[in-house]
């Protein structure tokens, strides 16, 4: 399968190698080394699923080689080895990073990864709450280990092989201290970059396990359009193919023949969806092979010289190169030519195959993605198969249980996956199975989905759990629809983001304990998101989330300015905390209904207070928006009309200057307090706000009054709270003490949040 050879450089520079009888060390960077033991003195130079590139610049290191001890020393680690079979007493490394008071030391096979911050899991199938997330390449102790001894190998001829038998060890130690980004950069250097996904994948996906008819599915897509709820990907679960028909000689999960009772004209179905600016993915459970009733059976059999006399099935065998070639180029290509832009590979049958070490899921992910790379924008949709899987986006996290516990875990799970470089998780947003009807839960889940890597609605084959927004109570319907529109507005921002898109807070603040105490809070590129994952109070109608802000921020949905620190945040069903630091620049598509295509017009959010820069990446070229805090000058070379929204600026700055013809307006509560400057002319644009502009002091009384109006409590309690809010004769601290004395924390907390949000006088 020479056409499936992919770029790799598995051979390390000989100058990076220190080798002796049965052992070999490769110094890949001054903080990353590979260690190998081979009983037969034959070492592995092929690419593995984890390591495809070992040809890195030779770092500075020195070697002390004595008869009974080997030392390898860089500026960051000191390796010591007794030249015997690897053991915890004979192979160790100490690190220069001052991470702990007592220092940090790695020992081979010690059985512990001290303070490892986790990686990700193969699936969330049947997980109701937390699960083990494995190990990543970063830890609070400053080092992490990857055991690569049993991974699949690439043979250099376009196919794969298992590891040779014998006593062998193959591992890597990342010693990056608290330079977490440096560790991830090294991971990508060795294990390959995470590919960008096609722009269309960043919009809303519709998915449901349900036997739609062709007419019914297209009508549903038209209903979404009529309701002004945008979609970009149409997922067709397994019932696109024959399932329960008498001609199917097995359970029906596997299939490659369109069910003509449901889809009488598949080619027209594909055209109808493409005409609606939708991409199509079909579900594939390949484990049962290709049986005689399938449209592709005879052609596959001829290619494979398979005896069809007794109509024996062609067994699924990913270890056979000839089968994989026919599987991709005959079976799947014939369907792709009708109505499939990429495949949902739904492998659930474990890690075993005819060849030990060859995981069928790895095989499917790798060859499907390489195949897709040859003919169009590469994309697959499949489960995580282990370290190195980041090269094959997008990840399907499995059949999610519909509970608050599942939702509460997903933000942390998604952010933690970045510790192993895996940045494109797609969850069953809203939940797939079990659970109960809970409109608030679904609404909060969708809000998280909008600020997650892939926003894919999904539900089980249950008439009560489908995720059309209009099936929910009006309050939820409006919120869900608004957030789904906002997802499409976010596409320019997400498409331009450095990867991985979602990052834990501790990546930027590794030496602050508090950064590890908010696992559900994360960076969404530059924005900080704190999803709400618990039900709201029946008395206040508000939900609570604990957040930590490392610097002054503005909530992009409310315009509230927050000082740095720990904050209890309270939000209505229609809001979640999404915060932009000073200097943030966030481009949005003005029109959420354009199917994730190139925007005709932008709205650009800007937060003054610090310098800012954003590179807007499009397929053909990129544009830059910059803001200089000292001069107060914003410059943009975007070549389309733009509305620049300066958050939390409520009056025209004294030094303000705009291009001729620009329209200036202001918004206040209940909209987002901000100044809008609409410039219809093409680039370049320069706006002057005057030197060192500052965020405005937002008067929160209108918001507090509306919030209190909705409280389901006694009127005199509302009066006491309100009187404390409007008492301007006392200082802030006294007002807060008065508030705390008026009612319990559940009622006072949301008010105190707003009163204390911005401590500037």
Residues 488-517 as b or e (16 or more Cβ within 10 Å = b): bbbbbbbbbbebbbbbbbbbebbeeeebee
DSSP string covering 23-61, please?
EEEEEEETTEEEEEEETTS----S-BSS-SB---PPPP-
What are the φ and ψ backbone dihedral angles of 495, each rounded to 5 degrees? -60, -25
**Distance (Å, rounded) from C-alpha 717 to C-alpha 698?**
25
Q: What's the average model confidence in pLDDT over 387-416?
A: 98
pLDDT on residue 498? 85
- pLDDT of residue 101 exceeding 60, the answer is no
Distance CA 718, CA 171 (A): 63
Query: DSSP E strands: which ranges in 477-531?
Result: 502-504, 522-524, 527-529
Confidence at residue 173, expressed as pLDDT on a 0 to 100 scale: 97
| C-alpha 15: how far from chain center | 38
- Count CA atoms closer than 13 A to 448's CA, side-chain side: 32
Check: CB of residue 620 under 8 Å from CB of residue 602: no
- Rg of the chain over Cα atoms, rounded to whole angstroms, equals 28
Q: Mind spelling out the 3-state secondary structure of 613-676?
A: EEEEECCCCEEEEEEECCCCEEEECCCCCEEEEEECCCCCCCCCECCCCCEEEEECCCCCCEEE
Average pLDDT over residues 358-379: 94
Residue 594, pLDDT score = 77
Over residues 511-552, the pLDDT tens digits come to: 999 999 999 999 999 999 999 999 999 999 999 999 999 999
Q: pLDDT at residue 599 above 80?
A: yes
> For residues 141 and 416, what is the distance between their CA atoms, to the nearest angstrom?
17
Within 276-332, residue ranges assigned H as helices are: 297-304, 321-326
C-alpha closest to that of 402 among 376, 377, 428, 367: 428
Euclidean distance between CA atoms 344 and 236, whole angstroms: 9
Q: Grade residue 97 by pLDDT with cuts at 50, 70 and 90.
A: low
pLDDT for 76 equals 94
Averaged pLDDT, 339-368: 94
Q: What is the C-alpha separation between 499 and 651, in angstroms, rounded?
A: 37
* Structural contact between residues 16 and 152, judged by C-beta atoms closer than 8 angstroms: no
Query: Do residues 562 and 555 make contact, with C-beta atoms less than 8 angstroms apart?
Result: yes
Specify whether the CB–CB gap between 560 and 740 falls below 8 A. no
Comparison of pLDDT for 209 and 354, the residue scoring more? 209
Q: What is the pLDDT of residue 104?
A: 81
Q: Are the CB atoms for 100 and 80 separated by under 8 Å?
A: no
225-255 pLDDT tens trace: 999 999 999 999 999 999 999 999 999 999 9
Cβ contact 344:234 at 8 Å? no
Average pLDDT, the chain: 95
- Location of structure tokens 């109701």: 128
How far is residue 38's CA from residue 85's CA, in Å, rounded to a whole number? 9
Sorting pLDDT into bands at 50, 70 and 90, what band is 620? confident
User: Which pLDDT score is estimated for 102?
Assistant: 54
pLDDT tens-digit readout, 426-472:
999 999 999 999 999 999 999 999 999 999 999 999 999 999 999 99
- From residue 361, give the alpha-carbon distance in Å to each of 357, 364, 396, 434: 11, 5, 12, 26
| Phi/psi at 484 (5° precision) | -65, -35
Nearest to 366 by CA among 152, 527, 553: 152
730 pLDDT band (50/70/90 cuts)?
confident
Query: Where do the DSSP E strands lie in 222-348?
Result: 233-236, 279-284, 342-345
- Tell me which H or E stretch contains 717: helix 715-726
Q: Please state the φ and ψ torsions of residue 272, each to the nearest 5 degrees.
A: -60, -40
pLDDT band at 103 (very low <50, low <70, confident <90, very high): low
In the structure, what pLDDT confidence band is assigned to residue 112 with cuts at 50, 70 and 90?
low
**Measured distance CA(527)–CA(546) in Å, rounded:** 16
Q: What is the rounded average pLDDT of the residues 262-286? A: 98
**pLDDT for position 683:** 76
Is residue 341 within 8 A of residue 349, CB to CB? The reply is no
Q: Is the pLDDT of residue 690 over 90?
A: yes
Query: Which range among 394-403, 579-588, 674-683 shows the weakest confidence by mean pLDDT?
Result: 674-683
Residue 757 Cα distances to 209, 522, 544, 567, 675, angstroms: 45, 20, 15, 8, 20
Residues 734-756, mean pLDDT to the nearest whole number: 93
* CA-based nearest residue to 241, from 125, 346, 353, 360: 346
Q: Yes or no: say if 504 and 415 are a contact pair by the CB < 8 Å rule.
A: yes
Task: Return the HEC string of 99-115.
Answer: CCCCCCEEECCCCCCCC
Torsion of CA 734, 738, 744, 747, to 10 degrees: -90
Q: Which residues contact 621 (CB under 8 A, 6 or more apart)?
A: none
In this predicted structure, the answer to whether residue 124 has a pLDDT above a threshold of 70 is yes
Expressed in angstroms, the distance from the first to the final Cα of the chain is 70
pLDDT the model gives residue 704: 97
Residue 495 has pLDDT above 80, yes or no: yes
Residue 725 has which token pair?
Answer: 């809010």
> Running DSSP on this structure, what letter comes out for residue 388?
T
The span from the CA of 159 to the CA of 153, in Å, is 9
Place of tokens 């030249």: 83
**Structure confidence at residue 411 as a pLDDT band (50, 70, 90):** very high
Grade residue 732 by pLDDT with cuts at 50, 70 and 90: confident
CA distance 276 to 273: 5
The beta strand positions in 233-278, using DSSP E, are 233-236
Q: What angle do CA 284, 289, 295 make, to 5 degrees?
A: 80
Beta strand spans in 181-262 (E): 204-206, 233-236
**Ramachandran angles phi, psi of 387, nearest 5°:** -55, 135
Task: pLDDT band for 357, please (50, 70, 90 cuts).
Answer: confident
- Quote the CA–CA distance of 388 and 335 in Å, as a whole number: 28
Contacts of 111 (CB under 8 A, 6+ apart): none
Record the tokens describing residue 64, joined without a space.
């002390």
Which whole-number Å values give the CA distances from 257 to 137, 300, 331, 523, in the listed order?
43, 13, 10, 43
Q: What is the pLDDT of residues 311-351, one digit of tens each?
A: 999 999 999 999 999 999 999 999 999 999 999 999 999 89
Tokens of 527: 């924005």
| Type and span of the H or E element at 371 | helix 360-373
96 pLDDT tier (thresholds 50, 70, 90): confident
Q: Which residues contact 741 (CB under 8 A, 6 or more apart)?
A: none
Report the alpha-carbon distance of residue 77 to residue 93 in Å, rounded.
6
């Amino acid at each position: 399968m020479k056409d499936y050879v992919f770029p790799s450089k598995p051979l390390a520079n000989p100058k990076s190698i220190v080798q002796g009888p049965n052992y070999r060390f490769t110094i890949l960077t001054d903080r990353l080394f590979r260690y190998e033991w081979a009983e037969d003195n034959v070492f592995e130079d092929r690419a593995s699923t984890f390591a495809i590139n070992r040809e890195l610049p030779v770092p500075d290191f020195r070697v002390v080689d004595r008869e009974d001890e080997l030392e390898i020393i860089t500026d960051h680690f000191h390796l010591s080895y007794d030249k015997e079979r690897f053991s915890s007493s004979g192979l160790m490394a100490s690190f220069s990073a001052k991470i702990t008071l007592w220092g940090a030391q790695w020992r081979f096979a010690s059985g512990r990864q001290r303070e490892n911050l986790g990686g990700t899991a193969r699936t969330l199938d049947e997980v109701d709450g937390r699960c083990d997330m494995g190990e990543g390449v970063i830890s609070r102790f400053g080092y992490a280990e990857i055991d690569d001894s049993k991974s699949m190998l690439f043979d250099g001829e376009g196919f794969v092989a298992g590891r040779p038998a014998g006593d062998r060890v193959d591992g890597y130690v990342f010693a990056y201290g608290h330079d977490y980004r440096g560790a991830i950069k090294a991971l990508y250097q060795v294990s390959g970059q995470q590919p960008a996904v096609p722009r269309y994948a960043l919009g809303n996906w519709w998915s449901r396990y349900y036997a739609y008819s062709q007419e019914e599915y297209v009508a549903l897509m038209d209903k979404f359009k009529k309701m002004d709820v945008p979609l970009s990907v149409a997922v067709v679960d397994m019932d696109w193919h024959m399932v329960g028909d008498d001609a199917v000689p097995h359970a029906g999960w596997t299939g490659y023949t369109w069910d003509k009772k449901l889809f009488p004209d598949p080619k027209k179905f594909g055209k109808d969806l493409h005409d609606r600016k939708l991409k199509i993915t079909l579900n594939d459970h390949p484990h049962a092979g290709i049986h005689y009733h399938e449209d592709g059976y005879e052609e596959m059999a001829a290619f494979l010289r398979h005896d069809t006399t007794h109509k024996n099935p062609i067994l699924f065998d990913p270890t056979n190169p000839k089968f994989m070639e026919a599987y991709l180029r005959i079976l799947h290509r014939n369907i792709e030519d009708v109505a499939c832009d990429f495949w949902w590979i739904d492998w659930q049958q474990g890690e075993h195959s005819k060849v030990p070490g060859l995981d069928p899921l790895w095989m499917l992910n790798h060859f499907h993605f390489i195949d897709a790379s040859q003919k169009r924008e590469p994309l697959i949709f499949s489960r995580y198969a282990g370290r190195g899987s980041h090269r094959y986006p997008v990840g399907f996290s499995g059949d999610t249980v519909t509970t608050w516990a599942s939702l509460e875990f997903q933000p942390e799970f998604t952010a933690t996956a970045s510790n192993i470089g895996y940045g494109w998780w797609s969850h069953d947003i809203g939940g797939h199975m079990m659970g109960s009807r809970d409109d608030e839960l679904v609404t909060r889940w969708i809000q998280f989905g909008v600020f997650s890597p892939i926003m894919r609605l999904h539900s089980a084959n249950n008439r009560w759990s489908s995720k059309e927004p209009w099936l929910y109570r009006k309050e939820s319907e409006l919120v869900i629809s608004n957030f789904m529109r906002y997802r499409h507005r976010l596409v320019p921002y997400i498409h331009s983001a450095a990867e991985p898109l979602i990052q834990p807070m501790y990546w930027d603040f590794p030496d602050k304990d508090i950064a590890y105490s908010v696992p559900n809070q994360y960076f969404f590129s530059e924005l900080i998101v704190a999803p709400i994952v618990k039900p709201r109070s029946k008395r206040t109608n508000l939900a609570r989330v604990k957040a930590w802000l490392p610097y002054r921020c503005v909530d992009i949905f409310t315009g509230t300015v927050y000082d740095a620190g720990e904050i209890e945040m309270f939000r209505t069903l229609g809001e979640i905390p999404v915060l932009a630091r000073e200097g943030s620049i966030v481009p949005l598509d003005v029109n959420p209904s354009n199917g994730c295509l190139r925007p005709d017009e932008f709205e650009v959010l800007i937060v003054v207070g610090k310098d800012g820069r954003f590179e807007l990446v499009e397929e053909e070229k990129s544009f830059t928006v910059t803001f200089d805090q000292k001069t107060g000058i914003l410059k943009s070379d975007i070549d389309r009309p733009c509305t620049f929204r300066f958050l939390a600026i409520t009056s025209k700055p004294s030094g303000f200057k705009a291009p001729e013809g620009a329209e200036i307006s202001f918004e206040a509560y209940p909209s987002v307090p901000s100044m809008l400057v609409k410039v219809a002319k093409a680039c370049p644009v320069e706006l002057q706000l005057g030197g060192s502009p500052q965020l405005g002091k937002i008067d929160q009384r209108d918001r507090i009054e509306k919030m209190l109006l909705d409280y389901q409590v006694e009127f005199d309690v509302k009066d006491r709270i309100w009187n404390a809010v409007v008492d301007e004769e006392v200082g802030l601290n006294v007002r807060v003490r008065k508030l705390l004395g008026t009612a319990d924390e559940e009622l006072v907390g949301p008010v105190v949040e707003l009163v204390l949000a911005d401590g500037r006088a």
